[in-house]
Each structure stands twice: as C-alpha cells, then as structure tokens.
C-alpha cells in the first residue's frame, strides 16, 4: 500500500492538487504520513514542501473502531453509555484508545472495550467472512460525507508531526479537533500512544 499510495502522492504534487487526499487503506495513520513525506520531496529526494499540505491529508480508519466499540459496549451495562459519553482516539488497530465515558472514565472498563474492539476483526474472520462492509460504511462512506458536510466525525488528521485519529470536523477555516476535558490518566495514555505512532515513521 505504501508504494502505491506514494505514486498517487507524487501525482497529486505534479497536478498541484488542492482537494482532500482521503486514505482508507490500512494502516491509514502511517499511510497519511507516507503521503505527506513522499509528496513533499523533489526528484532529488529533498524536502521542498511543494506537495500536499498536511491538512489536505486525512485517514479514515477510526470510524469502524468506534462502531465496534459501540457494539461491544451494549453487551455490558457498565459500558452501555459509551456511544453518548465515550470516545475513540488514536490509530486503527494497535495503539487504539477507547474511553468508556468522559464523565465517568474507568480505566479497566476502557481497556476491556479497547481489547474487544481491536480483536473484533479476528472474531468476524472466525465466522468465515472478511469484514469489509462495516469498515466501508463506518470508516468510509459516513465519515467522508461528514467531512464534506463539515460535520463531526472520526478521522486521522495532522497533529504536530503525527497523523492521529480523533473526532474532528473540516470547516472553511481548517480542521477543528474536538476539545475535551479529559482525565489525566486518559491523557497520559493518549500521549504515550501518540509518541509511539510518531516513532514508527
């Protein structure tokens, strides 16, 4: 995926593409960075930043993780309010952080939800099917439409050198990341995963 998407990043550079470069292939967060780095180098491999701007690149993978968390949260009365009170942060897969509730954050409940969400892909495959319908809707169609409509949705956007997943919306003035009053231990967990994501590429 990295090689294929790098070719498109270079084409976007050549054409001075001004629209949104949407990435839905895994791993969306890292591929976003690949596009940014590749598209902003000249033929000598030097950075000249004449390619896609960081805020033009968006990765769509967190939506399906949120949807899976909603599914599992409804199986436990202690996490049943996730869809209204909880949030998803980080990459699609390893490093994901599911917070059961922002009002009554519980680290152990959040960890269980996170683990269930990350492993959901494998659970579906055990049935003999490949999970592609849910991701196509939850991480594809719905958030893409929300992006174009300026509505809140889950996607990975550029945050200080790292493409990180969080709830946001695209306005005429640029990307607005949801501002939240988060518990300290949740903030530390998100920071830790943010650093790990930044160290990969």
How do the domains of the chain map onto residue ranges?
A: 2-58, 62-200
- 80-96 confidence digits (pLDDT tens): 999 999 999 999 888 99
Is pLDDT of 126 > 80?
no
The CATH architecture to which 62-200 belongs is Alpha-Beta Complex (3.90)
Q: How many of the other CB atoms lie within 10 Å of CB of 160? A: 8
Residues in the chain: 201
Secondary structure (3-state) at 99: strand
Token reading at 171? 């306005």
Question: CA 91 to CA 96: how far, in whole Å?
Answer: 5
Query: Could you please report the per-residue DSSP string of 79-106?
Result: TTTHHHH-EEES-SSTT-EEES-SSS--
Residues 6+ apart with CB under 8 A from 21: 8, 9, 12, 35, 52, 56, 57, 58
Return the closest-CA partner of residue 196 out of 89, 94, 114: 94
- 32-78 confidence digits (pLDDT tens): 999 999 999 999 999 999 999 999 999 999 999 999 999 999 999 99
Average pLDDT over residues 150-173: 97
Is pLDDT of 121 > 80?
no
Angle between helices 107-126 and 184-200 (to 10 degrees): 50
Residue 164: its pLDDT value, please? Answer: 97
Is pLDDT of 132 > 90?
no
Angle between helices 28-39 and 2-14 (to 10 degrees): 40
Q: How far is CA 23 from CA 96, 128, 154, in A?
A: 18, 27, 13
């Amino acid at each position: 995926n990295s090689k294929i998407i790098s070719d498109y990043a270079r084409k976007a550079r050549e054409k001075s593409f001004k629209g949104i470069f949407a990435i839905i292939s895994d791993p969306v967060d890292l591929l976003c960075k690949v596009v940014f780095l590749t598209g902003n180098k000249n033929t000598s491999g030097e950075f000249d930043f004449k390619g896609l701007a960081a805020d033009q690149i968006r990765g769509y993978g967190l939506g399906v993780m949120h949807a899976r968390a909603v599914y599992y949260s409804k199986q436990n009365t202690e996490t049943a309010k996730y869809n209204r009170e909880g949030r998803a942060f980080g990459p699609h897969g390893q490093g994901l952080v599911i917070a059961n509730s922002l009002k009554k954050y519980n680290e152990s409940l959040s960890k269980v939800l996170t683990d269930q969400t990350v492993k959901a892909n494998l659970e579906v495959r055990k049935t003999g099917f490949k999970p592609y319908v849910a991701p196509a809707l939850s991480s594809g169609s719905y958030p893409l439409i929300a992006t174009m409509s300026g509505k809140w949705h889950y996607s990975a956007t550029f945050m200080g050198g790292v493409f990180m997943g969080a709830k946001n919306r695209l306005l005429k003035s640029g990307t607005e990341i949801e501002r939240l009053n988060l518990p300290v231990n949740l903030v530390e967990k998100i920071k830790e995963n943010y650093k790990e994501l930044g160290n990969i590429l």
